[in-house]
């Protein structure tokens, strides 16, 4: 039996979920993840009086999510940007084309997202830690590089907003940005 105290390592997988069953979109695998971050945007208010802080109120607005990958997946980029991949020719003389930073790629549909991290519990039992974000609004893609020895990197950046539904579109009892799931390593299927 696993304990309820876990540690995580590096990102092993990131994907766009379909929003109705919680499964990954067939085009949604963010292949070749190099690094990522998930940061909450929070603030506080100090209620003061008599030259002292009498109480503090905390809140959060959203979470910023950034995933960086070493591959440029045209189909994933097209679906997130609301565009279409065009192709012409036959192998080995085929080519693919995708609009880059056009007006149609601004303010596209929000989607649920998964970020997966290998994990162990405090007893050393191997587990998997999933960050499931219910409602991510993606910004236009950006690139780092190409640079010597690091190559070309693609950045997926978005905001995980508060949502009244989960990754399957089911109503939540209170609005949330997402949830954490820690499960046995190697299990498959929908959460």
Mean pLDDT per 10-residue interval, the chain, length 191 residues: 85 92 90 92 94 94 94 91 90 90 86 94 91 95 88 93 96 96 76 55
Q: 144 lies in a domain?
A: yes
Range(s) of the domain holding residue 151: 6-41+53-184
What does the alpha-carbon distance between residue 27 and residue 45 come to, in Å, rounded to a whole number? 43
Q: 122 lies in a domain?
A: yes
Q: 189 lies in a domain?
A: no
Q: 86 lies in a domain?
A: yes
Q: What is the pTM of this model?
A: 0.88
Residues written for the chain: 191
Q: 191 lies in a domain?
A: no
Give the total number of structural domains in the chain: 1
What is the CATH number for 160? 2.30.110
Q: Of 37, 43, 44, 42, give the one whose Cα is nearest residue 133.
A: 37
């Amino acid at each position: 039996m696993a304990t309820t105290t876990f540690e995580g390592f590096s990102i092993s997988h990131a994907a766009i979920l379909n929003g109705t069953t919680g499964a990954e979109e067939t085009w949604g695998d963010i292949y070749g993840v190099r690094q990522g971050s998930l940061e909450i945007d929070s603030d506080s208010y100090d209620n003061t009086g008599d030259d002292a802080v009498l109480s503090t109120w905390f809140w959060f607005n959203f979470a910023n999510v950034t995933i960086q990958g070493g591959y440029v997946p045209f189909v994933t980029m097209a679906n997130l940007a609301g565009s279409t991949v065009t192709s012409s020719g036959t192998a080995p003389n085929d080519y693919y084309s995708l609009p880059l930073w056009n007006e149609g790629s601004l303010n596209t549909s929000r989607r649920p997202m998964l970020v997966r991290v290998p994990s162990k519990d405090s007893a050393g039992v191997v587990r998997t830690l999933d960050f499931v974000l219910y409602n991510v609004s993606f910004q236009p893609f950006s690139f780092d590089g190409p640079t010597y020895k690091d190559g070309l990197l693609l950045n997926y950046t978005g905001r995980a907003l508060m949502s009244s539904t989960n990754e399957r579109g089911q109503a939540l009892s209170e609005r949330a940005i997402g949830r954490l799931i820690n499960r046995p390593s190697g299990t498959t299927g929908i959460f």
